[in-house]
Amino acid sequence: MSQTRPAAVVILAAGEGTRMRSSTPKVLHSLAGRTLLGHVVHVARTLHPDQIVTVVGHGRDLVGEHLTEIDPDVITVVQEEQNGTGHAVRIALDALAGVEGTIVVLSGDSPLMTTQTLLALCQAHEGELNSATVLTATVQDPTGYGRVIRAVDGTVESIVEQSDADEGQLRVREVNSGMYAFTAGPLREALNQLTTDNSQGEEYLTDVVALMRSAALRVSAVSAAHPDEILGINDRAQLAHAGEVIRDRRNRELMLSGVTIKDPSTTWIDVNVDVAPEAVLLPDTQLLGATSVGAGAIVGPRVWLLDTEVGEDAHVRDATCELAVIGAQATVGPYTYLRPGTILDRGAKVGGFVEIKNSRVGEGSKVPHLSYVGDAQIGSDTNIGAATVFVNFDGENKHRTIIGDSVRIGSDTMLVAPVTIGDGAYTAAGSVITDDVPAGAMAVARARQRIINGWVQRKRPGSSSAQAAQRAEATGEDTGQTGSDISQS
């Protein structure tokens, strides 16, 4: 059957969601890199409707701003008072004056809906010439859901809420999702007949189905491909469950595309992340935001990447990286922190307990361990010795350090910015470099060493150190120079 294209999609997102116990509107809670509402808008767009209308209410300003950010073409209408789902759809249709054809109604807190199911809903609705088509699911435990009662010919006879269901109806496991496809004309007529004569004093959208049925209009139903698709998020436990569903879907999709995921249960990948075939993801890995991973790269274990690019054949383990670029064949980790603005060129190495921010490490260069690199440019084939600190902040402003190609920075060097180290230069271990170093030079910037013999015995008599020194002197193991005050370079 060819793909259909609805005239409009109406998204109901006005509810407060008190069970979330949050100051954030329910539909703005995040899941796999999108808000709940963002997931619904995204799947609605895959139907290519002429228009999308979202009904907002609680937190309208925040929800409206979010919609403008993610999809400026979405029409937003406000439900000033929460008078029920039927009332919300009537407000939406007022914004769609003159629109005819199929109107799809979705819930803004149901992020697990798939394009496949919505296409099946639209195709059945138009192919069967229905006035309404109810999206349903068959669940193991239907408690709390309205039951869908079908007629002999398979059409929908009624939707019975649990509180009104008799013993036989309670055994029905096909339930109403609260999402539908309607034909615009009959929908408008039914909405105009809704009343608030019920326990909640609201206009129920489910009553539209009964009104259409009583008018001898055809009402049918389509079951979701999987029961999880209809789940609405009402509390944090349901939010966590939905996260697991999306995680499993995403991981399966990537594995079928050629990505190796060693432990899918501990690997979390946002919906906008791009992972190339032949990449390998090891346990306890999170890929978030606009992260991308190239072919042949190995990421993990214990890696957290946000908006980070990992090149082909790179290896990242035990690392936290945000807004960083890790070049092809580069290695990162273990226990490494790459902050925003970090760029590692091809084959660069950043090792254990290294933090880098707003810096570029050139091709084949190494920062192997225990160092901080901030606001720096490092050339190619350069080695930064252990415990080096790029001193970039003077208390008020940040300054840059420029290091050339094939430079060797000795361990425990302080590079006090702004400073430039020329190509091929060396710095001696323990130096504090405050002036530029010419190409090919050796910079030594440290105090001359002084040895004061006998200091421990005089200043710390009776201590374990003094006793050890006395034993060494007695056995002739003292290798230090003699003299009371000897200096050496």
**Catalytic site residues?**
369
Nearest Cα neighbor of 51 from 14, 92, 81, 82 is 92
- The two structure tokens encoding residue 470: 């006395």
Distance CA 52, CA 54 (A): 7
90, amino acid identity: R
Q: What count of other Cβ atoms lies within 10 Å of the Cβ of residue 33? A: 21
Nearest Cα neighbor of 10 from 58, 59, 79 is 79
Taking CB atoms within 8 Å and a gap of at least 24, the contacts of 286-293 are: 288/33, 289/33
- Judge whether 294 and 314 are in contact, CB under 8 Å: yes
Those residues with Cβ within 8 angstroms of residue 117's Cβ, 6 or more apart along the chain or in another chain = 135, 222, 224, 225, 229
